[in-house]
Chains A and B, each alone.
Chain A
Amino acid sequence: MLFSSRKAQASAEFMAYVVMLLVVLLVAAFIAINTTEDVRTESANNDAKRIAYVVASEINMANEIGDGYTRRFFIPEQLKNGENFSLNVASQRITVSWSNANYSLPLTASNITGSPIKGYNTMKNIGGVVVFV
C-alpha cells in the first residue's frame, strides 16, 4: 500500500509539470506565429518599395543623363516572400501594387514610352524620351 501511494503522487506532479510547459509552449508559439506573419508582411512591403525605388531611380537617371543613355536592369518576378506584384508607369509616377497595398513615387521624366516588365528591361533615352525597348 505504501508503494502505490508514492507512484500516484509522482504521476500527478509530472502531469502538472507537463501541462505547465505546454501552456508556455502554446503562448510562445502563438507569439512566434504572429511575429512571423508580421515579418512576412513587412518583408513584402519593403521589397515592393525597393522595387519602386529602383525602377524610379533608373527612369530618373535616364531622364537626367539625356539622349543616348542605355541601361539594362532586372525586376524580379515576385516579391521575396513569394507574393505577386504589378508595376505601372503612368501620369509621371510609378506605382507598385501587391496584396491589398500599393506604393507610388513621382518621376522626373514626363516623356516615357513603353513600360517596365518583370525580368530584364532595356531602357534608352532617345531624344529626351525615356523608352522601354
Chain B
Amino acid sequence: MFLYKGQVFSGDFILSISVFLLVLVIIIPVFSQLSDQINRKNTQQELETRLLFVSESLVKTGGYPENWNKSSVQTLGLSDDDRLNITKIRLFMEMDYNETKSAMTLEGLDYRLYMTDMNGYNLYTGLSLEPVAYFAVDDTIAQSHLENSSIVWDMYFAGSSLPANSGRNVYTGTKADVFNALAANQSKYKTIIIEEPQLGYDTVDIQGIKDFVKTGGVLIFAGSADMISKNFSMTFLQASEQGVVVGNSDLLNASIGENVVFNNSQWVIANTTFEKLNAIVSSATNQSRCMICSWSYGAGKIYYISDLAAGIGSRNLTSLLLLTGKSIEKGPDLSGQNIVIVTNRHALLNKFDFDIYTAMRFFIWV
C-alpha cells in the first residue's frame, strides 16, 4: 500500500500563502497610517471650524445672559458696544478653567488664550499698560502692585535705601536727576507711576511728563501734588479731610458710600467746574474736593490718588486699587500637543475709558 503525497499542502500552496501574508503585512500598516492621516485632517478641520465660531462669539458678543456673572453665565462673550469689556474679562479670568470651557462649548478640548497690544506687550486687568516707569523716593507703597504682577516695569528710585525690586531697569540718584532721567525716557513707557516725589514742578523737567500724557500715556500720581499743581489743568490745595467713595471706577474696588479714612492731611483737587473730572473719592464734607480722581489730558489720562496709605473700613486703600492686576491670559501651557489650532483676533478693548487695539491669540487642542 502506498501513501501518495498530499495535494493541498504542496509547495505551490505554501508559496501562495506566504505571498498573501506578506502582502497583508505590508498593506495593513499602510492602511492604518492612511486612516490616521485622514482622521488627523478631519480633526484639524473640525477644530478650525469650532475655533472660528468660539472666537467670533467671544469677541463680538457680550455672552448670555447679557450681564452675566461667574455663576449665571451660560455662553461666554467678552464684548460690550463693539469693544472688549475689561469687567467681563476680569470675571472670565476669575472663573474656573473647566467652567470657561463649558461656557465656550469647548468641552473635551483644551485652550489657551492671551491678549497683547499691537506691539506685543501683555495686557493686564488693572490700570497700567506695560512698560511702566515707577518713580519713588521714600514711600514705595505702590511697588507691591508691580512686584505682585508680571508687568514689565522700570524703577526710578531717589530715596536713601534702594528696596529689593524686580524692576527690569533700575535708575538711582538724586531726586531731580532721577526724575529728569524718567522724563527723558518717557517715550519708552505707556504708564508712569509717581509716588510722593517730594519735588516741585519748577525743579524738574515737567514738560517731559506733560508730553508723555498728551501723547496718550497714563500718569498715576500719588501723594503731595506740588509737582502737578500747575500745568495739568487742575487746582490743588492742601486739606485735612476724610473721604467718601462717590463714583464707580475700574480703579477702585469699593462701593459708593464707603468712607475713606486719611490719617494725614492731604492734597485735594478743588476744581468745581471741570466737567471731565471723574471723581472716585471726594471729601466727605465738601464734595467739590476730590481725593481720588481722573481726568483726560491731551490723548492721555491722569489718575490722582491723594494718599496711598488711606484705609477703607478695615482694608488698606492700596489693596483695593487695581493698579496692575493680572496678565490677561488663561489656560494651560500647550507645549507638546500634537494638533493645535490657533487664531488671531483683533479687537478694541475698552479699559479705563481708553480704547486699546488688542490682539487675542486663541489656541485649542484635543
Contact = CB atoms under 8 A, between A and B. Distances in A.
A92 B53 contact: no
Residue from B50, B53, B56, B61 having most chain A Cβ neighbours under 10 A: B53
Contacts of A33: none
A99 interface: no
A92 B57 contact: yes
A49 interface: yes
A60 interface: yes
B66 interface: yes
A87 B123 CA distance: 39
B1 A2 contact: yes
Question: Of B4, B63, B75, which is in contact with the most chain A CB atoms at under 10 Å from its CB?
Answer: B75
B105 interface: yes
A107 B57 contact: yes
Given A104-B105, A106-B105, A6 B74 contact: no
Interface-centre pick from A17, A60, A104, A106 (highest chain B CB count, 10 A):
A106
Given A91-B64, A91-B75, A92-B63, A106 B3 contact: no
Nearest to A6: B4
Interface in B157-183: none
Contacts of B66: 110
A2 B62 CA distance: 95
Interface SS majority for chain A? helix
Interface residues on B, range: 20 to 34
A6 B5 CA distance: 9
Contacts of B105: 93, 104-106
A60 B55 CA distance: 13
A14 B3 contact: no
A110 B6 contact: no
A45 to B, nearest CB: 10
B326 to A, nearest CB: 25
Interface string B221-263: 0000000000000000000000000000000000000000000
A14 B10 CA distance: 12
A17 B16 CA distance: 13
B339 to A, nearest CB: 16
Residue among A46, A56, A105 with most chain B CB within 10 A: A105
Contacts of A9: 3-4, 6
B8 A14 contact: yes
A92 to B, nearest CB: 4
Contacts of B42: 46
Interface of B: 1-4, 6-9, 42, 46, 49-50, 53-54, 56-58, 60-64, 66, 74-77, 104-105
Shortest Cβ-Cβ A-B pairs, 5 listed: A106-B57, A13-B8, A92-B64, A91-B74, A104-B105
